[in-house]
Structure 1
Amino acid sequence: MFQIDVVEQCKANDRRAQMKLYRQYCDGMYCVAMRFLKNADDAEDVLQESFIKAFQKIHQFEGDVSFGAWLKRIVINKSIDFLKTKKDKMVTLDEGYMHVEVNDDWTVEDGISMEEIKNGIECLPEKYRYVVMMFLLEGYDHNEISQVLDLTPSNCRTRLLRGKGLLKEMLQQRKHGTGS
């Protein structure tokens, strides 16, 4: 009930309510931005821009998801937009013509820590990294990832499967001492 009341107060442009929401969500959303940006200053900038956008667009929040989930989508979009603007050129690759075997097994060998998995994700090529991060760490499904990254669901699945394969291979190499 608290969250709905505060959101309604924010819709009425109540600054104290905005500060309540900001304090409630700023740390968690900062962590989300950091997972994408890996730079504290950039993450803080994106976080501020995300909250500004959220408060400007709060009238569009309908409550069909939690405010946190709605805000998280804004933070992820802003993080990805930030990364895109840092790149000079992006080369698109149509991966839809390639056949990929569907394998939903995400298990890894015993003895591999979550930190090693996160580090492995960071080493993935960018086109796979964001899809894997959003699926594994943020809990988005294929359709949501497709919308956020502007991919077809087929390309999203392909990138997720390839990213998973690369990640598993990297983790195995590190565990057995044949990797970096």
Structure 2
Amino acid sequence: MFQADILEKCKANDRSAQLKLYRQYCDGMYCVAMRFLKNADDAEDVLQEAFIKAFQKMHQYKGEVTFGAWLKRIVVNKCIDFLKSRNEQNISLDESYMRCVEEDDWTVEEHIEIDEVKTAIEQLSDKYKYVVMMYLVEGFDHQEISEVLKISETACRTRLLRGKGQLKELLKLKGYGTGS
């Protein structure tokens, strides 16, 4: 069965097609949820909620992006909602007055392993961690991140730049060193 056929059947509330779509995407979306939540039970719960929402809102999917990208956005939103509901503290700053310098250099020394970078990302404050994760790991752009986190694109760019600076400092403190 082709992807478009499955999606159309899901829009018609066909349970068999929904199950096929779930099986096709559940593992990848579980990994996305785990990167944010770090707890298997929480990730499973959020994943189920995300799929329920996706099936309920399937009529809103217009094919402007891949279905996987559309679903990933729902999963990330659900993860962030879950974290907010657990009262994890987010410090609000008025960052509208700040100007951000674009910097696309995300290079690190060759000897640094990806797991070391992921561990360092986990040590960032939530304010920076989620922006860095969404940008580097999930591949979201500034506009998408700002919509999901309900912050301005300027604040997104500022947080990304500061998160990158903190990430480099953490790697330096660990003795890994980084490129420029």
TM-score, length of structure 2 as denominator length: 0.94
Equivalent positions of 1:1-180 (< 5 A) are: 2-87=2-87, 90-175=90-175
SS in structure 2 of the partner of residue 175 of structure 1: coil
- The alpha carbon displacement at 1:110 in A equals 2.1
Change (3 A) 1:118 1:151: same
- The alpha carbon displacement at 1:148 in A equals 0.6
User: Which has the larger displacement, 93-102 or 110-119?
Assistant: 93-102
In structure 2, give the amino acid aligned to 1:26. Answer: C
Change (3 A) 1:15 1:82: same
Q: Distance in 1 between matches of 2:107 and 2:122?
A: 18
Change (3 A) 1:90 1:171: closer
User: % of aligned pairs identical?
Assistant: 67
**C-alpha contact 2:91 2:127 (8 A) present in aligned 1:** no
Q: Distance in 1 between matches of 2:88 and 2:156?
A: 23
**Structure 1 spans left out of the alignment, 5+ residues:** none
**C-alpha contact 2:127 2:159 (8 A) present in aligned 1:** yes
1:28-62 CA-to-partner distances (Å, cap 9, x unmatched) read 00000000000000000000000000000001111
**Structure 2 spans left out of the alignment, 5+ residues:** none
Give the superposed CA RMSD. 1.5
1:113-162 CA-to-partner distances (Å, cap 9, x unmatched) read 00011111100000000000000000011011000100100000000000
Q: Distance in 2 between matches of 1:169 and 1:88?
A: 24
